[in-house]
Amino acid sequence: MSSQAETGSLVSSRLPAREFERAEAGAPHRYTRTAIVLHWIVALAVMGMIGLGLWMINLPKGVGPFRAEMYNLHKSIGMTVGLLIFARIAWHLAHSAPPLPATMPRWQVLSWDVPAAKEFLSIVHLANASTLTVLILVHLGAVLHHLLVARDGVFQRMWFAARD
C-alpha cells in the first residue's frame, strides 16, 4: 500500500473521498462542442458584465438617457447570461464530463468531504435562495399593485405593446 506522500494526497486517510473517472493515458477525451461554446460564451459575457458594471457605476447621473440605457443593457445581458447558465446546467445533466487525465495527481482528483464547509455552504445557499425568492415575490406584488390597484401605467412600460 502506498503512503499519502507517494500518492500525492493532501487529505487525511480517514476522510472518505470519491475518485472521479480517470482516462487512460493518451486517451483523447474532450467536452462536447456545445459544452465548450456555452462555457466560453458565459465566461466572456460574465467578464464583459463585470467590465460594463465597473464602468457604468461611474457614469454621472446627468448624462441623459445614456446612463439608463447602460443599466438596462447590463440587466438584459445579466438575464441572458442567467438563461445561458441554466442551459449549461441542463446540458451538463444530460452529458457527462469527460474523464480526467490519468496523469493528474491524485490530490487534484479527490472529492473532499469537509462537513463544516458543506454545512456553511448549505447555509449560504439557503440564504441566497430565500433572499431571491423574497425579492421575486416582492417584485410580483409590486407588478400586481401597479397593474391592478394603482393602474398608473408602470406595468405597461415593461409589457409587450406598441410604443407611443
CB atoms within 10 A of CB 35: 16
Beta bridge partners of 22: 100
Give the residue with greater pLDDT, 94 vs 20.
Answer: 94
Separation of first and last alpha carbons in the chain:
78
Beta bridge partners of 18: 111
The identity of residue 32, as a single letter, is T
pLDDT at 4: 41
**Reported confidence tier of residue 158, pLDDT bands at 50, 70, 90:** confident
- Give per-residue pLDDT as tens, 65-117: 898 899 899 989 989 998 999 999 899 899 888 888 888 888 888 777 788 99
Give the residue with greater pLDDT, 164 vs 61.
Answer: 61
- Give per-residue pLDDT as tens, 129-145: 888 889 889 999 999 99
